[in-house]
Amino acid sequence: MENSTSTYEKIGGDAVVGQLADRFYQLMDSVPQFAELRAMHPASLQGSRDKLYMFLSGWFGGPDLFVEQFGHPRLRARHMPFAIGTQERDQWVACMVLAMEDIGIEKTLRSKLLENFFNTADFMRNKEG
């Protein structure tokens, strides 16, 4: 039997997942290149931050906090009310890349996560352009 370590463990567990969610929304709130993405969110980012943190915890192989509180993520359905095209996808991914770099996630792991984040963000697209 293969002894595999989860992404959650590789990145440093709960504290690092929290740092990633915090940094992602700090960047979204302060970097001009993410203005369109920021405009899609409520004035307070705390609820969005908490949901991302809970989702990432389970997605990375840690405690499935989002599912415990909200049920199946149904990401595409939950994002349908928002017009998401390539610009919004690319801003989200770029923001996440910066957040991962800023909190010190190791480069090889960042590359793997980037591929997964891009594919997931691309699946959220629901408008042309």
With contact defined as beta carbons under 8 Å apart, do 114 and 70 qualify?
A: no
- For residue 3, the model assigns a pLDDT of 58
pLDDT of residue 1: 47
Three-state SS across 93-104? HHHHHHHHHHHC
User: Does residue 90 surpass a pLDDT of 90?
Assistant: yes
pTM score: 0.93
What percent of the chain is predicted at pLDDT more than 90? Answer: 94
State the average pLDDT over residues 19-23: 98
**Whether the Cβ atoms of residue 99 and residue 31 lie closer than 8 Å to each other:** no
pLDDT digits over 46-74, tens only?
Answer: 999 999 999 999 999 999 999 999 999 99
Which structural domains are found in the chain, ordered by start? 11-123 (1.10.490.10)
User: pLDDT at position 128, please?
Assistant: 86
What pLDDT does residue 129 have? Answer: 78
